[in-house]
Amino acid sequence: MIARALQEEAAGAEVIAEMDRQLQEIEAVLAQQTGRPPVGLLVSQMTSYGGKNSMFDTVCTKARVTNGIAMVGLSNGEKLTKELVVKADPDFFMVSAPKKDDRYGSQKFKDEFLQDPAYQGMKGLKNIVAIPNRYLYTNSQNCVYAIKGIANYAYGSIFDLSEEHLIKGY
């Protein structure tokens, strides 16, 4: 729709074709992963973000990662409680990567969350992954990189996300 509004239908078709190609690549690579998908739980100051049917949930599903927030039954917009974090018992916690400008106190929030006595002893505390916000809060054609990025954090470096492999214009 955006391409049509800008009278750039050919460019829009290219973007969609490239997204489809990358989604097929992701599916083929992740089909080789065996065992149960790991459970990841997002630690976010937006405590009602990431539930069932959200873009984050879709990205996790495509990355073959079980979204712990959706797994415990929360829909997007519902608040994640301590009890539900414990119920999810994630294999890893996803936190946003540190930023130079932390004007919203995100590092303090993450530290307090992960040091909460209710969570001590959870297996996920041994595997905390710092993920760039562009992968956690995506809602554009860049979602293919979010899928690859989260899959890399869950399974190791199975997708090349070096600059020369990123699509121009994305």
Task: Give residue-wise pLDDT tens across range 135-166.
Answer: 888 878 788 988 999 999 899 999 988 764 45
Rounded to 5°, angle at Cα 39 from 58 and 95: 80
Q: How far apart are the first and last CA of the chain?
A: 17
Q: How far apart are CA 131 and CA 164, in angstroms?
A: 20
pLDDT tens-digit profile of 77-111? 899 999 999 999 999 999 888 777 777 778 888 88
pLDDT value, residue 164: 47
Q: How far apart are CA 84 and CA 100, in angstroms?
A: 31
Virtual torsion, Cα 7, 9, 14, 15, nearest 10 deg:
70
From the CA atom positions of the chain, what is the Rg in Å? 17
Burial of 9 from C-beta contacts in 10 A (0-12 / 13-18 / 19+): exposed
